[in-house]
Amino acid sequence: KAGVTQTPRYLIKTRGQQVTLSCSPISGHRSVSWYQQTPGQGLQFLFEYFSETQRNKGNFPGRFSGRQFSNSRSEMNVSTLELGDSALYLCASSPKGGSATNEKLFFGSGTQLSVL
Amino acid sequence: QQQVKQSPQSLIVQKGGISIINCAYENTAFDYFPWYQQFPGKGPALLIAIRPDVSEKKEGRFTISFNKSAKQFSLHIMDSQPGDSATYFCAASKAGGGADGLTFGKGTHLIIQP
C-alpha cells in the first residue's frame, strides 16, 4: 500500500502570494490532519478533516484553510504569505476516527515551504 | 502555552547504552501518549504509545514509563543502536480531539555514537 503522498516536495514563494499544498492519504483512510513544523515552534496542529468536514482547527489565523474531497484527498491553502509561514507542512492520515479515537497517524514526508 | 514539555533537547549515547527522554504534560484531560520518531527528510512515524490506565508499555527495545500522578512519561531505548539516531517527539491528546489535535513536545535530537 502506498503511503501518504504530499506534493510538491518543495515550494518557494514570495510574501503576499498564496499557496496550495496537496495530500493524498493512504488508500481507505478517511481522516486527514495537517501540521506545521518549524525549528522554533516544533509540530503544531493546523486542522483535521473527516469525510469532507473540518472536525478540528488549531490556533492559526484564517489565512490558513483547507478542504477534503470525496476521495479523501486534501488540500491546504495559505493566503497572503508571510515570512513566518516558512515551514515544513506535514499531512497525516488515519483509517477511521482520527483524533476522535486517538488512532495512529501516518505522516507524509511533507512540503517544505520557503517564503522570501 | 506549551502543554507538553520535553527534555533534553539533544542527547548523545554510546552504542549499547540506554537512551532516556522525558516529557511532562499539564492537561489532565489527555488520555493518549504516543512517541514519534523522525528521520531527516521524512515525516514522523509512530514508535509506541500508552494510555494512562497502565504504568509501562514495552515493545522490543522501546519502553514507555508513565506516572499519572506526576503527569510525566518517558521513553527508554535499551541497547541503543546507531540506526536509532533520529529526532524523537512525545505527544499527547484526548479522545475526541478538540482544538489541539496531537500536542507535541519540542523534540529530542538523539545521536548514538558507534
Bridge partners (DSSP) of residue B89 are B36
Residue in B43, B95, B103 closest to A90 by CB? B43
pLDDT digits (tens, 9 = 90+) for A1-19: 789 999 999 999 999 999 9
CA distance A17 to chain B (A): 26
Q: Does residue A27 contact residue A2 with C-beta atoms inside 8 Å?
A: yes
Bridge partners (DSSP) of residue A40 are none
Contacts of B52 in chain A (CB under 8 A): none
Q: Does residue A19 contact residue A78 with C-beta atoms inside 8 Å?
A: yes
Contacts of A104 in chain B (CB under 8 A): 34, 46, 49
- As a whole number, mean pLDDT of residues A13-35 equals 96
pLDDT of residue B54: 92
- As a whole number, mean pLDDT of residues A38-49 equals 93
pLDDT digits (tens, 9 = 90+) for B66-113: 999 999 999 999 999 999 999 999 999 887 655 568 899 999 999 999
User: Band of the pLDDT at A101, cuts 50, 70, 90?
Assistant: low
B97 with A56: Cβ contact below 8 A: yes
CA distance linking residue A10 with residue A26, whole number of Å? 21
pLDDT above 90 (res A84): yes
Q: Nearest to residue B37, comparing CAs of B1, B69, B80, B68?
A: B80
- The contact set of B with A (CB < 8 A) is 31-32, 34, 36, 41-46, 49, 89, 91, 93-107
pLDDT digits (tens, 9 = 90+) for B44-57: 999 999 998 999 99
CA distance B79 to chain A (A): 26
Closest residue on chain B to A108 (Cα): B43
- As a whole number, mean pLDDT of residues A85-112 equals 88
Least confident of A4-8, A31-35, A100-104: A100-104
Residue in B45, B91, B97 closest to A98 by CB? B97
Contacts of A47 in chain B (CB under 8 A): 101
Q: Where are the beta strands (DSSP E) in chain A?
A: 5-7, 10-13, 19-24, 31-38, 42-50, 53-57, 64-68, 74-78, 87-94, 106-107, 111-115
Torsion of CA B33, B38, B42, B47, to 10 degrees: -50
pLDDT digits (tens, 9 = 90+) for A50-77: 989 998 889 999 999 999 999 999 999 9
Closest residue on chain B to A57 (Cα): B99
- As a whole number, mean pLDDT of residues A88-104 equals 82
pLDDT of residue A1: 73
